Amino acid sequence: MDLVEVAETTDTLHVRSHVQYNTPDHITPTNVLRSPLEQFHVWFNEARIAGVKEPEAMSLSTATASGIPSSRMVLFKQLDKRGFVFYTNYTSRKSKELEENPNAALLFFWREMSRQVRIVGRVEKMSREENEAYFKGRPAGSQLGAWASKQSSVIGENDLAIRLKKFHERFGGTEDADVGDIPTPEFWGGWRVIPNEMEFWLGKPSRLHDRIRYHRLDGSASDEEPRWNIDRLSP
């Protein structure tokens, strides 16, 4: 593997080189699908089949009511007619920011294919029924972890182990336990990002990348059947 060339001193670091992208395919407003969700479905399957490591990993960016941003990597779990779903603790920093400011941005980067997908939209919570259906399918260890973790809060060195032991004893759960025996916490569940903008990016030489943007048209009657304008963006 080629190492990135850098120039550094005791207090500076400068990146001197970077790989040149050179994907063989092209995207244009005329050869993409009319729906960005359908286009994402195609690209995600191509990434999965191509062996991209963790194609479901995505950056989630949120912001406070005053506009202070934060980002973290989370796992994409579902695509439906409305948008993109991930699950988390509803008392976490990300959830608190989504409560204050119900807008988010997602970014998938599939390095092995020199592809990115960027999504911007409003958010909504998943229903209790949807949360329970997903939670029941998680491994017992992950279910217990959801109960034990006060996500994003400051904790002591042994606090998490103590809380995990407490919920092991409460529910009698182990890694091999019947996953149906552990209830879904009220403070845990999913968020759905409903896109109003999506961009598909293909890496090209000399930074002259292909960029196609879908923008949701005002007056779209339904979140499940929105209308989109499709443009090519300058790199």
| Positions marked catalytic | 207
d(CA 150, CA 152): 7
Q: Are 90 and 201 contacting, i.e. CB atoms less than 8 angstroms apart?
A: no
What DSSP designation does 127 have?
P
d(CA 215, CA 85): 20
Phi-psi category of residue 152: left, alpha or beta, with phi > 0 → left and psi -120 to 50 → alpha: left
Phi-psi category of residue 51: left, alpha or beta, with phi > 0 → left and psi -120 to 50 → alpha: left
C-alpha torsion angle, residues 23, 28, 34, 36 (rounded to 10): 50
**HSE, side-chain direction, 13 A CA sphere, residue 138:** 25
Question: For residue 45, with 0-12 CB atoms within 10 Å meaning exposed, 13-18 middle and 19 or more buried, which class applies?
Answer: exposed
Per-residue tokens: 234:
């300058």
